[in-house]
Amino acid sequence: MWLIFALVSGLFYTVEGLITRHILRGNKDAWAFSFYFSAIGALVSLPFMLLNVKIATNPFGWIVIVLVGCLIVLQNFLSFKSTNTLEASIQGSITKFRLVWVFLLGVLILHEQSSWLKLIGTLTTVFAGAVILNKFRKRSSLSGITFAFASTIVYGVIIILYKYLFLSFNTASLTFFVFFFPALINILIMPSALRRIKTMFNEQRKPVILACIAGGFANLAMNQSLAIGEASKVLVIIEAFLVITLIGEQIFLKEKSHLTTKIIAVVLATIGAILIRLA
């Protein structure tokens, strides 16, 4: 059963990534989309949380989850902003760098053990990034690459904090709150928030809702798969869906430029991610 949930999660993540690129390419409002992603994700996960509520009983747990909410706002903004200029496969390849930061922070802060597999996977992922930088450093997409790399660093910090949050929240409750708090924070700090949210709804409501629902169910399916299966096997399957993203990008988004670079980056990033996950 875990395999079914892992495949469903990978498929939903792929659909969400392709639709998000369709919505945001050009210079569309990444911040407004970030609000929808969090708000709709919270609505999707709410019924599952209500079936099995476990939340923090001390103030520290809530302080940490609000801090994580702020970091997720930043991470989502950087990630979605990069989608304005980066094809889904290139962004997905860069996103694998989040595993490098999780690995390094885990060793430095949590004193987790290292291994040759993790080291080789890290170097392979870094090489994928070097391939991308070498090809796109003189293009307008360089800003998108910078945003994407920055988002992976923030993501690494978030995952380290998750380890503390799982002591106070179960999976369903944590999934809901890491969607709910960012949605609320976005409303409070986004300039002209209501106008921008309304504009995106009027112009692109169908693809926005579809992408965000896919993102919500992707998270839920992954968490359910992790709850009943081995984490390494689950995450390896999900990571491998980057190859499907590349194929979907060619077929549905018609973004066929620099195909050789994309294939090399996707293969290297996927292999690196799998080695880190298997370690």
Domain boundaries, the chain: 2-278
In this prediction the pTM is: 0.88
Q: What is the mean pLDDT of the chain?
A: 88
Give me the pLDDT at residue 232, please: 59
The answer, yes or no, to whether residue 167 has pLDDT greater than 70, is yes
The two structure tokens encoding residue 37: 């992603």
Answer whether 214's CB lies under 8 Å from 12's CB: yes
Name the DSSP class of 254: -
Q: In this predicted model, what pLDDT tens digit does every residue of 22-57 receive, in sequence order?
A: 999 887 899 999 999 999 999 999 999 999 899 999
Give me the pLDDT at residue 73, please: 97
Q: Rounded to whole angstroms, how far apart are CA atoms 152 and 103?
A: 12
Query: Where do runs of H (alpha helix) occur along 84-192?
Result: 88-95, 97-108, 116-136, 142-165, 171-189
Give me the pLDDT at residue 56, please: 94
Q: In this predicted model, what pLDDT tens digit does every residue of 170-191 receive, in sequence order?
A: 888 998 999 999 999 999 999 9
Q: Collapsing DSSP states into helix, strand and coil, what is residue 110? A: coil
